[in-house]
């Protein structure tokens, strides 16, 4: 059975939207980072869907790069969360607003 590319795309968009909503509404920085991961993985899904559809390998290669970059980003993010927790003893984004106006 061949799954049409539009199915991949629809799932990808849905996942992406979920990620966006998560970033906007969740307060915990860890969860926000996870939601960003979700957005990236939604993109990965789209890439794989297209790569399969067009039989072009670039998309699958791209996915590897995205995963690597995402890992690096999360590593930095977690390090920052640790640092913030040390100075401010919080992991909630709405506690972080000394910089404003």
Partner 1 sequence: MTLTIPSFTLSSIGPWLTLTGTAILILLVDALSPKGRKAYFPQLSLLGLGIALLQTFRLWNHTGTDFARMVYVDNFAFFFYAVFILGTALTVLISRHYLEDYGKNLGEYYALLLFATLGMMLLAAGAHLIMIFLGLEVMSIAVYVLAGLFREDAKSNEAALKYLVLGAFSSAFLLFGIAMLYGATGGSLYLDDMAARLAQAGALTQPLTLLALALFIVGFGFKVASVPFHMWTPDVYEGAPTSITAFMAVGVKAAAFAAFARVLFLAFPALKVDWVMILWVLAVATMTLGNVVAIAQTNIKRMLAYSSIAHAGYLLVALVAANQLGAVSLLYYLLAYTLMNLGAFGVVILVGRKKDSYLSIYDYSGLGFQHPALAAAMALFMFALAGIPPTAGFVGKFYIFSAAVQAGYIWLAIIGVMNSLVSVFYYLRITVLMYMKPPEAELGPVAFTPALTTVLLVTAVGVLLIGIFPGFLYNLAVNSVKIFPSL
Partner 2 sequence: MMMDYVWLIPLFPLVGFLINGFCGQRLPKTIVGIIGSGVIGLSFLVTVKIFLEFLSLPAGTKAVEKVVFTWITSGTFQAQAAFLIDPLSLVMLGVVTGVSFLIHIYSVGYMHDEPGFYRYFSYLNLFVFAMLLLVSANNFLLMFVGWEGVGLCSYLLIGFWYEKKSASDAAKKAFVVNRIGDFGFLLGIFLIFWTFGTVNLREVFALAAKYPVGSGVITAITLLLFVGAIGKSAQIPLYTWLPDAMEGPTPVSALIHAATMVTAGVYMVARCSALYSLAPLSLTVVAAVGALTAIFAATIGMCQFDIKRVLAYSTVSQLGYMFLACGVGAYISGIFHLMTHAFFKALLFLGSGSVIHGLHGEQDMRKMGHLKKYMPITYWTFLLATLAIAGIFPFAGFFSKDEILFHSLVDGKFIYWLIATTAAFITAFYMFRAVFMTFLGESRVDPQVHPHESPPVMTVPLMILAVLSVVGGLVGFPIIEGAHVFREFLSPAITPVAHAGGHQAVSFEVFMMIFSMAVAAIGIYTAYKFYILKPDLPTAIANRFPVIYDYIYNKYFVDELYDATIVEPIKAGSDFLWHGVDDKVVDGAVNGSAGVITWLSAHLRKLETGFVQNYALAILVGVVLITGYLIGR
**Residue 87 binds partner 1, judged by CB under 8 A:** yes
The answer to whether residue 94 forms part of the interface with partner 2 (CB under 8 A) is yes
Q: Are 11 and 3 in contact (CB under 8 A)?
A: no
**Best CA proximity match to 17, nearest among 29, 35, 34:** 35
Judged by beta carbon distances under 5 to 8 A according to partner kind, the member of partner 1, partner 2, none in contact with residue 5 is partner 1
H helix count then E strand count, the chain = 3, 0
Largest CA distance in the chain: 56
CB of 30 to partner 2, least distance (A): 14
C-alpha span between 49 and 85 (Å, rounded)? 40
Partner interacting with residue 18 (select from partner 2, partner 1, none; CB below 5-8 Å by kind): none
**Helices 58-88 + 29-54 axis angle, to 10:** 180
Asked if 11 interacts with partner 1 (CB under 8 A), we say: no
Q: Which chain residues interact with partner 1 by CB under 8 A?
A: 5, 9, 12, 16, 19-20, 23, 29, 32-33, 36, 39-40, 42-43, 46-47, 50-51, 53-56, 58-59, 61-62, 65-66, 69, 72-73, 76-77, 79-81, 83-84, 86-88, 93, 96-100
């Amino acid at each position: 059975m061949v799954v049409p590319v539009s199915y991949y795309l629809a799932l990808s968009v849905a996942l992406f939207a979920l990620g966006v909503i998560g970033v906007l509404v969740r307060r915990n920085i860890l969860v926000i980072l996870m939601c960003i991961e979700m957005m990236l993985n939604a993109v990965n899904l789209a890439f794989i869907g297209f790569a399969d559809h067009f039989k072009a390998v670039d998309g699958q290669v791209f996915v590897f790069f995205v995963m690597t970059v995402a890992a690096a980003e999360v590593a930095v993010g977690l390090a920052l969360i640790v640092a913030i927790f040390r100075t401010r003893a919080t992991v909630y984004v709405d506690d972080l607003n000394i910089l404003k106006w």
